[in-house]
Amino acid sequence: DIVMTQSPLSLPVTPGEPASISCRSSQSLQRSNGDNFLDWYLQKPGQSPQLLIYLGSTRASGVPDRFSGSGSGTDFTLKISRVEAEDVGVYYCMQAHQAPRTFGQGTRVEIK
Amino acid sequence: QVRLQASGPGLVKPSETLSLTCSVSGGSSSRHCWTWNRQPPGKGLEFIAYICNDGNTNYNPSLENRVTVSADTSKTQISLQVTSVTAADTAVYYCARLAIPPSGTYHVHDYWGQGILVTVSP
């Protein structure tokens, strides 16, 4: 199985400040056409996860543009340009390159 | 509006079979698949299995010998069975829809159900 490793596991943030989460995979997630099979999900407190980013950098419908995804191969980053209070929760990266799909451990984002 | 509702017993005894149903409304077509993931208390997410509306299935090898996923003919009831459960199977179980998004090339989880907590205990 592909192992997904996120860092940090906990991220205290100040509203209005930027935040960044790293996700590394044990194998490349890039296909021959250049697509990276990597998603980011946010699980807000008490809720089910919701899709933020797919293909490593494409925002899902309705996701604010303060969220951005970047990276390729084995190294990926989720950035929030200016954190808002509603962004708190646990962020997960997930690879869809190889079965079985695997998730990172999660990064808990909380307001300082 | 797509809606997924998981249902089933919240308590299962060790060695018995866990059975859950995901009721789907508002969005099912031949392009969609349906997945079950789970989240043990305080832990991260784990893929269990998925089934596509064309009948294709895929299982997590770590659970494959105990898990069965199926769908009814209308593809609005997605079932999950896990046999010989132990305390390690205690988790919130989520069903979700898999769909290929705009400009996408693979299925993503675009809608999730609310999750159902299943506890394995005598």
Q: Would you write out chain A's pLDDT as a tens digit for each of its 112 residues?
A: 999 999 999 999 999 999 999 999 999 999 999 999 999 999 999 999 999 999 999 999 999 999 999 999 999 999 999 999 999 999 999 999 999 999 999 999 999 9
Chain position carrying tokens 């790293």: A22
Decide if A98 touches B, using CB distance below 8 A: no
Q: List A residues 17-56 in contact with B (Cβ-Cβ < 8 A).
A: 31, 33, 35, 37, 39, 41, 48-51, 54-55
Q: What's the half-sphere exposure (Cβ side, CA atoms, 13 Å) at B28?
A: 21
Q: What's the half-sphere exposure (Cβ side, CA atoms, 13 Å) at A45?
A: 8
Question: Does position B28 have pLDDT exceeding 80, yes or no?
Answer: no
Question: Does position B92 have pLDDT exceeding 90, yes or no?
Answer: yes
Question: Does position B3 have pLDDT exceeding 90, yes or no?
Answer: yes
Q: What are phi and psi of B87, to 5 degrees?
A: -60, -25
In three-state secondary structure terms, B87 is helix
Residues in contact with B38: Cβ distance below 8 Å, sequence separation at least 6, in sequence order: B45, B46, B48, B91, B92, B93, B94
Helix and strand element counts for chain A (H, E): 0, 11
8 Å CB contact of A58 and B46: no
Q: In the predicted model, what is the mean pLDDT of residues B82-93?
A: 98
Chain position carrying tokens 């998981």: B6
